[in-house]
Amino acid sequence: MFSRRDLLRTAPAAAVAAGLHSHFASTSGAEPLVVRVREPRNLETPLSELFSTDTEKFYVRDHFPAPTIDSKTFKLTVEGHVENKLEFTLDELQKMEAVTREIVLECAGNGRVFLIPPVRGAQWAYGAVGQAKWTGVPLGAILERAKVKNGAGDVVLVGADRGAITSDPPSPGAIHFDRGIPLTKAKKDETLVVWNMNEAALPSAHGGPLRAIVGGWYGMASVKWLSRIVVLDKPHAGFWQTMDYSYWIRGKDGFPQITPITAIQPKAVIASLADGGILKAGAASTISGFAWAGENAVAKVELSVDGGKSWSAVTLGKSKPLEYTRWETTVTPQQKGPLKLLVRCTDDKGNTQPEKRDPDRRTYMINHLVPVDVTVK
């Protein structure tokens, strides 16, 4: 009942019916991705292809021009607050015990085009998210060989790409893309250093020859072109988790604290219909899509056909943390005219998508409810 082809069949037709709103646009001709920014690359998966497992259709989010890395001479270094400084060639890493896991990556700015009023940053609609099969070694296995010293703080993952951010707030000159993660997350088995994507060599666009995958966290932690791992004796306060990719948490003391973005928030998306789609009055229509909830499993997905006044649970596929879950339901609208569809996901810890946007999240972690406007004919 959940064949992928069935789920996706109706979407391109719906996009055409929508008069090709830019964020629902299919791509033209040769390019499988919607170009949001050409250089550095910000390429979005169109809604009609969102749940494809094709590497070519996986979104691309770069902050700097992609570096050129020769995988034959490439070395990964491990240094900092460790007993053993290490250096690995790709070959040496590939001789370690490998694991393969399906993991969703979502950009923390996915859905930014739905923010009102509009904000700066890449104007992603639905498609800065994707799931792939990643093959590599647990970061924990590398850290074990390096013997992390007592009192370690963050493990900083450093990319080979480098540049200066000149928009406000600017970076302190030219910097690498990097991200620190706490040692506890670094040692979890969903945190990987990978060289394969969907069972083929990791393409350069996705960080090849080597990248981090920090399962369950927004994409910024999954550092591409990984070249250095630096263990600190304190938390990292680099550009990419303070000036960028951070939000406000209000403590009991009332002081909003700037906090690095971490876990992916629950989200459900309708894949079989887009804005402007058509349903037939008096006829049963199947509506389907996907949901994901970061480190947690999806416990419930609900659909509302009355703008959020009432909700009914949909049929869920098997759900696991870190992965997409498929869902499907049937609606039989009676009255002709406009209809507002809303879908919401609740994870197994009881977190639900918020109705309204929380401004403390700045321009990230966008999972408030966004209606899909269709017409019943």
Residue 312 tokens read as 């009914």
- Give CA–CA dist 239/241, Å, rounded: 6
* CA dist., res. 134 & res. 202, Å (int): 9
The residue within the footprint of ligand MTE, chosen from 11, 90, 93, 220 (CB under 6 A), is 220
DSSP secondary structure of 123-141: ---S-SEEEEEEEEEEHHH
User: Residue 264 interacts with ligand MTE (CB under 6 A)?
Assistant: no
Q: Which stretch binds ligand MTE (CB under 6 A): 86-94, 217-225, 253-261, 316-324?
A: 217-225
Per DSSP, the residues of 258-277 read EEE--BPPPEEEE-S--TT-
Touching ligand MTE, residues 41-70 (CB under 6 A): 58-63
The full DSSP string for 284-302 is -EEEEEEEE-TTS-EEEEE
Site track for Mo ion across 135-174, x = CB under 5 A? ----------------------------------------
Choose the one of Mo ion, ligand MTE, none that binds residue 185, judging by a C-beta under 5 to 8 angstroms depending on kind: none
Distance CA 126, CA 113 (A): 9
Question: Which position has the token pair 């993991």?
Answer: 103
- The reply to whether 111 sits near ligand MTE by the rule CB under 6 A is no
240, interface contact from ligand MTE, Mo ion, none, CB < 5-8 Å by kind: none
Q: Which does 225 bind (CB under 5 to 8 A by kind): ligand MTE, Mo ion, none?
A: ligand MTE
- 3-state class of 220 per DSSP? helix
Of the pair 107, 305, the CB lying nearest ligand MTE is at 107
- Does residue 324 interact with ligand MTE by CB under 6 A? no
Cβ distance to ligand MTE smaller for residue 222 or 367: 222
Closest CA to 17 of 268, 269, 280, 267: 280
Of 209, 214, 208, 203, give the one whose Cα is nearest residue 240. Answer: 214
Phi, psi of 216 (to 5 degrees): 90, -10
Q: Is 260 in the site for Mo ion (CB under 5 A)?
A: no
The Cα-based distances of 356 to 116, 177, 313, 339 in angstroms read 11, 32, 21, 20
Q: Which of residues 131-190 bind ligand MTE (CB under 6 A)?
A: 159, 161, 177
Residue 219 in the binding site for Mo ion (CB under 5 A): yes
Contact (CB, 8 A) for 85 and 146: yes
Residue 240: strand, helix, or coil: helix
Residue 266 binding: pick among ligand MTE, Mo ion, none (C-beta 5-8 Å cut-off by kind): none
Question: Is the distance from CB of 160 to CB of 83 less than 8 angstroms?
Answer: no
- Cα separation of the two ends of the chain: 26
Q: Does 292 bind ligand MTE (CB under 6 A)?
A: no
Q: From the CB of 60, what's the least distance to Mo ion, in Å?
A: 10
Closer of 190 and 302 to ligand MTE (Cβ): 190
107 forms part of the interface with Mo ion (CB under 5 A):
yes
**Of the listed pieces 218-226, 247-255, 308-316, 331-339, which binds ligand MTE according to CB under 6 A?**
218-226
219 or 266: whose CB is closer to ligand MTE? 219
Strands 99-106 and 129-138: what pairing? antiparallel
Compute the least distance from the CB of residue 221 to ligand MTE, in Å: 8
- Distance, in Å, from the CA atom of 272 to the CA atom of 317, rounded to the nearest integer, reads 16
Q: Which is nearer to ligand MTE, 18 or 194 (CB)?
A: 194
**Per rule CB under 5 A, count of chain residues that contact Mo ion:** 4
Closest distance between ligand MTE and the C-beta of residue 13, in Å? 27
| Cβ at position 150, least distance to ligand MTE in Å | 30
Give me the least distance between CB of 197 and ligand MTE, in Å please: 8
225 binds ligand MTE (CB under 6 A): yes
Smallest distance from Mo ion to CB 133, Å? 20
Q: Which residues, including other chains, have CB under 8 Å from residue 60's CB and lie 6 or more apart?
A: 33, 41, 42, 43, 205, 206
Residues that bind ligand MTE (CB under 6 A): 58-63, 105, 107, 159, 161, 177, 206-207, 219-220, 222-225
Residues that bind Mo ion (CB under 5 A): 61, 107, 219-220
